[in-house]
Amino acid sequence: MLKLEDINKTYNIGTVNEAKLFADFNLTIEQGDFISVIGSNGSGKTTMLNIICGSLAIDSGRLLSNGNDISRLKEFQRAKFMGRVYQHPDMGTCPSMTILQNMALADNKGKLFGLTMGVNKKRIDFYREELSRLKLGLEDKLEVKVGSLSGGQRQAMALLMSTMTPLEYLILDEHTAALDPKTSEIIMALTDEIVREKQLTTIMVTHNLRHAAEYGNRLLMMHEGQVIMDKKGQQKTETKVDELLDIFNSISVECGN
């Protein structure tokens, strides 16, 4: 369970551009939740992910993971129990290394990176098996450098790599936004499969309202640093894309766009 308590975050403190984004923000994410987060640009959804992951410091408030305060942990320390997939496929893989080497890197997460061989030969079959789930034929290209793969292939690998070791939370930061529609469907289906199988507590920020409606058990809509809609379970299942679009439009009108 992840709890955000009284989070305050102001950008550019002390300058003319000072902007308060979060004021006493609260959110509780239950064990096993798969939350889709939607909202307009500047609504604070990516900032929220950055705060959770620790890539952005908060002004005040607390983050509790299963009751433990993690607010003071650095980003790389939180990464031990969090996996994150970024919007840009480049962020999740090492382009100059081979597929096999990338898999081995991810496999070693949380362990010592010492002077033993980088690729454990005994694990290669396991990597092949994992890769074959992507149905992209990557299992036959183990020695190919990741940099020469397409964006979709790399994003699929990034997803696989970030969920390879045991996790508490999976953070998906618009991870299908940079892909073409077809690939984005494949990646989304794969995400769902992995999340179910590993029973990961997942927070997914997306611009795709249909994905938001279709996947997950909880739906958040954010606006100006606040959660303006929070639907769970039955309520969420009944939510239709059109309905979301209407709300979205109404906020935009309020803003005068």
Q: Which residues bind to other proteins, rule: CB under 8 A? A: 74-77, 79-80, 83-84, 86, 90-97, 101, 104-106, 108-110, 112-119, 162
What minimum distance in Å lies between the beta carbon of 186 and other proteins?
22
Residue in this structure with the two tokens 């995400």, named with its chain if needed: 191
What minimum distance in Å lies between the beta carbon of 194 and other proteins?
16
Q: Which is nearer to other proteins, 49 or 222 (CB)?
A: 49
What minimum distance in Å lies between the beta carbon of 237 and other proteins?
32
Q: Which is nearer to other proteins, 112 or 253 (CB)?
A: 112
Burial of 88 (0-12, 13-18, 19+ CB in 10 A): middle
What minimum distance in Å lies between the beta carbon of 216 and other proteins?
22
Q: Which is nearer to other proteins, 87 or 183 (CB)?
A: 87
Q: Which is nearer to other proteins, 91 or 247 (CB)?
A: 91
| Cβ 212 vs Cβ 192: under 8 Å | no
Q: Which residues contact 22 (CB under 8 A, 6 or more apart)?
A: 7, 8, 9, 44, 47, 48, 51, 58, 225
Distance between CA 212 and CA 172 in Å, rounded?
12
What's the half-sphere exposure (Cβ side, CA atoms, 13 Å) at 197?
Answer: 12
